[in-house]
Chains A and B, each alone.
Chain A
Amino acid sequence: MAESESQEGNYYNWGKMVENIKTDMEELLEEMEKLTVRATWMTFDYTAIQTNPDLSNAMQHSEDVFLMCKEQMEKKWQEVLLE
């Protein structure tokens, strides 16, 4: 009895296990899909971030402006006097 019960329970559990597995798998699938979507989104974002030229341009511009400012500041007053 116990065996049958256990068997049944096992069978029942098996079914449940199967169902659980199915559901779990489905859930997993969904999650995987979601995750893939998110991964693609992330890759897109990363690429977008990495390929965003604004920062580099801004940095370049800032570097240029900094160099110009540095040049201006490095101009000695003597040159100004000479001027």
Chain B
Amino acid sequence: MNELFSKLYKEAEKIKQWKLTVETELNQKERKLQENKKTIEAQNKAIQELQFENENLHLKLEDEICENKDLLKEAAASRHLCNLLKETCTRFTEKTSKHEQEKAETIQLYEELHSNIERMTAAFEELRVQAENDRSEMSFKLKEEAEKVDKFEKECKLEVSQKEKQISALTIERDEKDDVIKDIKAQLQTSQNKIADLMEAKLHHEEMLKESQVSKEHLRAELEEAKMSLQKAEVTQKNLETELQTRVKTLIQVTGEKEEQEEECKKMKALLAALTEEFETSVANLKSLLQEEQNRLKKYEDDSKLLTLELQKKSAELEMTKVKCDKEVQLEELSETLKEFQDLKAQLTSTAEKEQDYLKQLVTLKTDLEQEALRNEQLTVYLSKLSLEKEQTAQEKNAVAAEVKKLQEQQEDSKKKEENTKQLVENLEEANSQLRNELESLKQKMAKTGEEMRSALDEREENMNNLKKQVENKTKCIEELQQENKVLPKKLTAESKKSNTYEGKVNKLQIEMEKMNKQHKEAADIYQKDIETRKGNENKLREENEYDKMVEEKDAELKVYKMKQQKQFSSARALENELSSLKSELASLKEQLKAEIEEKENLVKEHSHSMIPESEKKHKTYAIKTPPMDKMHSGRSTNLPSEQSSRKKQKVLVQLDTQSDSSEHTDLLSIVSEEEMFKNLYKDFPQASRLHSPAPKKLHPV
């Protein structure tokens, strides 16, 4: 509490002090205030003055401020403008810079574009040039290929023409063979037709035979009837003769009345002749009718026979079919057949009656004739009647005789016909047999021809195949020979070089040999001289020994030299042998070349021959001009024997002598030309070079 009081007291003291201070300060301040008030008054006055001045100044200031403001405004405006200008300038500068950049860029772009455009133009021009070049090259190539194609087409056309020619030739052959076949077939057919005709003729002749037999029978019947009539006529003739005799006696009595009666009789003759003619015609008609009726009779008889046969058959059928068919139908049929038979019988009886009627008519006519003859006799009285009767009887006799003769002739004719028919039948049979034999022979021939044709076709096919093979082999040979030809000169040159080298070596060796010989001789002379000189010197024994040693050494050297010499001789001989062998080889190679060239020629010729259609040269042969190996030792002949040429269908292996010189030079040229032809033909087309395949040395001519 004291502290608090102390503190309070201190603070109260402080406060008192502060009051004091404050009072002092207040006093001071009052004083100052008063002073200040004074000053203030002074100042107020001053201030008033100043205020006046201030007001003036203020007005001035205001004016100036206004002016300043205006100026400031202007300045601000100008500043603003300047700022704007600056801004614009900056913008402008920026824009100009941008523009410059852009200009630079545009220039660069322009330049780039220009360069690009130039590149484009250059590229387009290059493209165009390339296109033109390519097009030109293509056109050129196309033209070349077109030319090649044209050449190939031409060659193909040539080949086609050749092949067409071959085809035409082969078709001609085929046609010829077809014609031959057709002829043979036609002959076959004709023979067959002949056989058929002969068969038909045979049948016809058989029918004729039958008919002739039938007619023969009919004629026999007629013969018998004629004989009967003859007998009757003879009887009548006898009767008439007796009557003649009696009437001759009466004639003598009545000759005086002839002449008067002859005139009347002549008239009557004429009338009677006419009547006789009419009667003859009627007789003939009646006879014809008789014959017809007889024929009808015969036919009816035949029909009756046939009917009887049919009846028999029908009866047989009836008997056969009694079990199967109805009896009434059969009976009806029988009745019908019987009716028919009865009708036929009635017809037959009617015909017989008709015939009898005709016969009766004939008899009546005859009686009329006799009556008229009697009338004639009555009219002419005696001679004329008798003569007429005589004539009539003679005529009748003659007619009957003629009829008899005719019948006999007919019989003979029928016999002859029979014989002829028999002969014909025999001939036909013979002809049949002959035709059959001919048929068989023709068939055999046909078979043979067929076989021959087949064999020929097979042979041709074989020939074609062989020729194809030959062609291939020949082309192969040609190629091989060509290659060998190409190789041979090289070989020749190499071997010639070798031979030259060997010759040089041989020459060198010979020269060395000579030198060595010379040296040897010189050395030998020298040694001999030394030996002689040394032998003469007795005082030089030691030297002689030495010389002997030297001699021995030199003898050894001599031996060595001799050995070398011998070796060189042997080498020289060997070289000479080699030279000779090389020369022989050269010669053989040359001969081989020539032989191969000849073979080429022959191959080309054969190839050319084989290219020609084989059919045209079917029977031709090859005249090989190089002799075969078999005949090398026996001598050289120019052509093969004709044996091989005659062997048409045999394959012959011919080993040709490759070392022969019998070939002609023309062959070489022909081969070369044809080779060139082949090369020219098949230059651009290696496909066709298959024809130039290498060929073996063996040939297979056919």
Contacts and interface: CB of A to CB of B under 8 A. Distances in A.
Interface of A: 10, 14, 17-18, 21, 24-25, 28, 31-32, 35, 38-39, 42, 45-46, 49, 52, 54-55, 58-59, 61-62, 65-66, 68-69, 72-73, 75, 77, 80-81, 83
Contacts of A54: 114
- Size category of the B interface is 20 to 34
B138 A66 contact: no
Given A21-B75, A55-B113, A80 B106 contact: no
Contact of A72 (B78, B82, B117, B132): B132
Contacts of A14: 68, 71, 75
Which 8 A-B pairs give the minimum distances between C-beta atoms? A65-B124, A69-B124, A72-B131, A58-B117, A69-B128, A62-B121, A65-B121, A62-B117
A19 B226 CA distance: 197
Contacts of B131: 69, 72-73, 75
B124 A58 contact: no
Contact of A17 (B75, B110, B139): B75
A42 B103 contact: yes
Secondary structure of the A contact surface, majority rule: helix
B107 interface: yes
A42 B86 CA distance: 20
B100 A42 contact: yes
Contacts of B113: 55
Interface stretch (B91-99, B354-362, B405-413, B646-654): B91-99
A79 B200 CA distance: 80
Contacts of A38: 93, 96, 100
17 contacts: A21-B82, A28-B89, A35-B93, A42-B103, A49-B107, A49-B110, A55-B113, A58-B118, A58-B121, A65-B120, A68-B128, A72-B127, A72-B128, A73-B127, A73-B131, A75-B131, A77-B138
A66 B79 contact: no
Given A14-B71, A72-B135, 6 more contacts: A17-B79, A62-B124, A65-B125, A72-B128, A72-B132, A75-B135
Nearest to B113: A55
B297 to A, nearest CB: 104
Contacts of A45: 103
Contacts of A69: 124-125, 127-128, 131
Interface string B285-299: 000000000000000
A73 B75 CA distance: 75
Contacts of A18: 75
Nearest to B64: A7
Contacts of B110: 49, 52, 55
Interface of B: 68, 71, 75, 78-79, 82, 85-86, 89, 92-93, 96, 99-100, 103, 106-107, 110, 113-114, 117-118, 120-121, 124-125, 127-128, 131-132, 135, 138-139, 142
B96 A80 contact: no
Nearest to B71: A14
A65 B123 CA distance: 9
A72 B106 CA distance: 34
B139 A66 contact: no
Given A28-B86, A83-B139, A62 B78 contact: no
A80 B120 contact: no
A21 B79 contact: yes
Secondary structure of the B contact surface, majority rule: helix
B121 A28 contact: no
Nearest to A66: B124
Contacts of A66: 120, 124
Given A28-B85, A28-B86, A80-B138, A62 B128 contact: no
A39 B99 CA distance: 10
A80 B137 CA distance: 10
A35 B97 CA distance: 10
Contacts of A83: 139
A83 B636 CA distance: 64
Contacts of A55: 110, 113-114, 117
Given A28-B82, A62-B124, A35 B92 contact: yes
A65 B131 CA distance: 13
Contact of A24 (B82, B92, B99, B106): B82
Contacts of B128: 65, 68-69, 72
Contacts of A25: 82
Contacts of B68: 10, 14
B444 to A, nearest CB: 67
Nearest to A58: B117
Contacts of B86: 24, 28
A64 B107 CA distance: 24
A61 B121 contact: yes
A46 B106 CA distance: 10
A35 B89 CA distance: 7
A54 B524 CA distance: 108
A81 B125 CA distance: 23
B697 to A, nearest CB: 50
Contact of A49 (B93, B103, B120, B132): B103
Contacts of A49: 103, 106-107, 110
A77 B136 CA distance: 11
Given A21-B79, A55-B110, A62 B89 contact: no
Contacts of B135: 72, 75, 80
A21 B81 CA distance: 11
A54 B103 CA distance: 17
A83 to B, nearest CB: 6
Contacts of A58: 114, 117-118, 121
Contacts of B96: 35, 38-39, 42
A80 B280 CA distance: 115
Contacts of B142: 80-81
Contacts of A35: 89, 92-93, 96
A68 to B, nearest CB: 6
Residue among B79, B117, B132, B139 with most chain A CB within 10 A = B117
A15 to B, nearest CB: 11
Contacts of B139: 80, 83
